Amino acid sequence: MPWAKLRSHAQFNLATSGVAHWKLRDLPIKIEDLEISGLSKYGFEPLQRALAKHCGVTEDRIVAATGTSMANYLTLATLLKPGDEVLIEEPTYELLLAVAKHIGATISRFPRTHESGFALDPQAIKRAVTPRTKLIVIANLHNPSSALADEATIRAIGEIGPRVLVDEVYLDAAFERAPRSAALLGDQFVVTSSLTKVYGLSGLRCGWIIAEPELARAMWRLNDLLGVIPAHMAELASVIAFGELPRILANVRERLDKNRAALHRFFDSRADLEAPRFPFGTTAFPKLLRGSVASLCERLRNKYNTTVVPGEFFEMPDHFRIGIGGDLEPLEEGLRRLGAALDDMMES
């Protein structure tokens, strides 16, 4: 996270995983729509309604949270005590691992392999589960690769035994290919998400958890120690944003389709990269077949003013992550510069 906050910026930033931020002026929000304080206790009623409608569940299953980040923290901290065993996919979004460590959980891992296109394999999970495993943690779509797990796979993981946290913050970037939310498949699933990544509305910090009602109540109580009460202006703006999601999603789809085509053209031109390609998602996670990713990233930043995320942050140092959520022109220029940095490495 310190790298993402302090070191990822560059003129051509391909290090972000979400789509470009929308501006306030892009949404029909007027100053009269906002108010500093309001009636938010265990959720702000209009936002709880909007979230429940969006997720297709009843309001007693929704816990509003400050982004998926807080949603993940509340989930792990409610379900795990120090010493409890949690089984987390590898590679994973680093903060899922960091939260489990912070709680003092005992962490075990199961692989999502490059060779399988980072697919989720219920058999691999089954092999890694022990009688002490309290929670399985996965993301769908997967960060960093954008691999998608279908409903049958998610169901099979739910049948293994322990509860399953599914981080679905990227799921809507699969558009009509997205399976139903795991939250609709049974109470063994806890789902987290937000308006951050796919909708480009990170600043609203509108996140949520979907969980069975008793668990949801426990999470609200834990939130009383942390977020307590959200910024009311953000709640009001989020309610308005929910009315705009279809328009936003159509725009995002057009952006990602064009950008992905540019990325795939770039992959076509490189024999030194190998990447599973998907027709959805906001990121790709290629493997560098020759040379060091650390030197590539250094050269890319220092000589070409361009960043990607080094695979070391995903425990795979021979990979790197490219984000395609920005504007097309800078993406194409960033990819051109990435190609030049790769060519330099071949020559040196």
Contacting residues toward ligand PLP, per CB under 6 A? 17, 67-69, 93, 139, 143, 167, 169, 194, 196, 202, 207
CA distance 68 to 63: 11
Q: Considering the complex, what minimum distance in angstroms separates the CB of residue 345 from ligand PLP?
A: 28
Q: Considering the complex, what minimum distance in angstroms separates the CB of residue 139 from ligand PLP?
A: 4
Nearer to ligand PLP, 202 or 305 (CB): 202
- Give the CB-side neighbour count of residue 287, counting CA atoms within 13 A: 11
Q: Considering the complex, what minimum distance in angstroms separates the CB of residue 92 from ligand PLP?
A: 8
Kindly tell me the sign of the dihedral angle through the C-alpha atoms of 83, 86, 90, 92.
negative
Parallel, antiparallel or unpaired: strands 189-194 and 287-288: unpaired
Nearer to ligand PLP, 102 or 132 (CB): 102
| CA nearest to 192, candidates 48, 329, 70, 341 | 70
Nearer to ligand PLP, 93 or 304 (CB): 93
CA distance 144 to 322: 9
Nearer to ligand PLP, 61 or 197 (CB): 197
Radius of gyration in angstroms for the set of CA atoms belonging to the chain, rounded to a whole number: 20
Q: Considering the complex, what minimum distance in angstroms separates the CB of residue 283 from ligand PLP?
A: 9
CA distance 295 to 297: 5
Q: Considering the complex, what minimum distance in angstroms separates the CB of residue 174 from ligand PLP?
A: 14
Nearer to ligand PLP, 96 or 185 (CB): 96
For tokens 């399988």, the residue is: 116
Nearer to ligand PLP, 43 or 144 (CB): 144
The residue sitting closest to ligand PLP, measured at its beta carbon, is 67
Identity (one letter) of the amino acid at 9? H
Q: Considering the complex, what minimum distance in angstroms separates the CB of residue 310 from ligand PLP?
A: 15
